[in-house]
Amino acid sequence: MPEDIMTTKDNRIHCWLKTAPSRWFVAYATAAAFATYFCMYAFRKPFAAAKYEGLMFLGTDVNLKTVLLISQIIGYAISKYAGIKVCTEIQRSHLAKFLVGLIVFAEFALLLFGLLPEQFKVAAIFLNGIPLGMVWGSVSRYLEGRRASEVMFAGLSCSFIVSSSSVKAFGQWLMDQGLDQFWMPVVAGLFFLPLFIVAVWLLNQLPQPSAEDIADRSKRSVMNSSERWAFFRTFLPAMLMLLLVYFFLTAYRDFRDNYTPEIFMAMNEGYETSPKLFLQADWPVAFGVMMALACLNLFRDHRFGLIAVFGVMLTGIIIMGTATLLHDFKVISGLWWMILIGTGAYLAYVPYGAVLFERVMASTKVAGTAVFAIYLHDAIGYTGSISVQLYKDLGQSELNYFEFLRSFTWLLCGLGLVCFVASCLYFTTKHKPTDNEHSNHGT
């Protein structure tokens, strides 16, 4: 990527953003981050819209789709482990070119997915996952450490909720036009590549956090290995509990997302796989989650803001359990069950993506970047996703996809309730008031 394409020096938009009213700055940043991450999903998820029916992996009892999903997630997980170092150390001036390079690599892997014989397609989709796991951390670096970070991250988080179903719907539409299921992913990616480059350029116009942002949220800086280890040790008990929940929560979210067609079919309620069904299951979820996260910005006191974040996550766990009970007693349909457990799972899951650790760092005044904590959890989370999908095929093959997800819901509800409450209590004891909070308490 030539130097002058992504630079912000003397750019008119960049200069305007430095003095723009807060509401317009937030709207711009949110839209640019949303568009960037939405487009990324066009390189990650369309292939999951295909069923690959009747295809088994190398003559084994394992479905080819399961192996493809796991292969991509392994690559994605490796990317998350690499991102613990790369995304916390990369300089801001290199972020835009880095983002575009990641996506070009992912698109090349999708080309290989179409070209290679069936037994080698697993390797191609593995390569596709390797760069994509570092996109979130790179985009987050533009948004963290600002007074309105919660609103911006709400928009960013909304993108991966709606984009997954949207790009799968687009992939299904391409196959309905007669495109082969193995060539569909690279064609979907080509359609979104120009849009991604434009979105990154717009995102790269954002100025660094202002002095007021730094005073309110603490300065965000790159972190070396010793600083990352010191951060982890400082919050060890709570971090271990959060990691445990996230291990299963990521697996739960991925299982519901990747096997949506199979789950609806296993319900025996007459659902047929269609682009419309993908959208019906996820778009209401995105709206509810975005509103909940945006409201967190109303909490100016960081201690109460952190408690509110855990309140949102606990609410998500409760919604999942309540929805499962209602579906068991035939009070709601399978579609509404999928919408409600999706809403609950994302309410518990999405705050990990930045809002939770943004508040932790603002509350405790620990120096560094929230991206480290995000990527540590993501690395563990996608390890859980791989483990649970293998466990389903190899250890619980007698259960259909719906029955497995229902049992998984109850496990996650119990674990989440205990660990979220305990973690919340721990972090509130580490709170350090800002100068503004001190002055407010003294009046």
Is residue 5 very low, low, confident or very high in pLDDT (cuts 50, 70, 90)? low
- CA dist., res. 137 & res. 275, Å (int): 29
- CA dist., res. 442 & res. 440, Å (int): 5
pLDDT at position 225 is: 77
pLDDT digit string, tens, across residues 265-322: 888 887 776 666 666 667 777 778 878 877 887 887 888 989 999 999 999 999 999 9
Dihedral-angle region of residue 178 (phi above 0 means left; psi in -120 to 50 means alpha; beta otherwise): left
Kindly give, in sequence order, each residue whose CB lies less than 8 Å from that of residue 185, ignoring residues fewer than 6 positions away.
43, 46, 47, 110, 113, 114, 171
φ/ψ of residue 133, rounded to 5: -70, -15
Question: For residues 244 and 419, is the Cβ–Cβ distance under 8 A?
Answer: yes
Domain 12-442 sits in CATH at 1.20.1250.20
Question: For residues 88 and 375, is the Cβ–Cβ distance under 8 A?
Answer: yes
Per-residue pLDDT, averaged over 318-344, amounts to 94
- CA dist., res. 412 & res. 111, Å (int): 37
Q: Is the predicted pLDDT of residue 241 greater than 60, yes or no?
A: yes
- Enter the tokens of residue 350: 């999405």
**pTM of whole model > 0.95?**
no
- CA dist., res. 322 & res. 413, Å (int): 10
| Exposure on the CB side of residue 284, measured as CA atoms within 13 A | 15
The residues with which 368 forms a beta bridge, in sequence order, are 220
- Enter the tokens of residue 325: 């009970």
pLDDT digit string, tens, across residues 340-387: 999 999 999 988 876 888 888 888 877 667 778 888 888 898 889 888
- CA dist., res. 202 & res. 31, Å (int): 9
Is residue 114 very low, low, confident or very high in pLDDT (cuts 50, 70, 90)? very high
- Enter the tokens of residue 373: 């904590």
pLDDT at position 397 is: 79
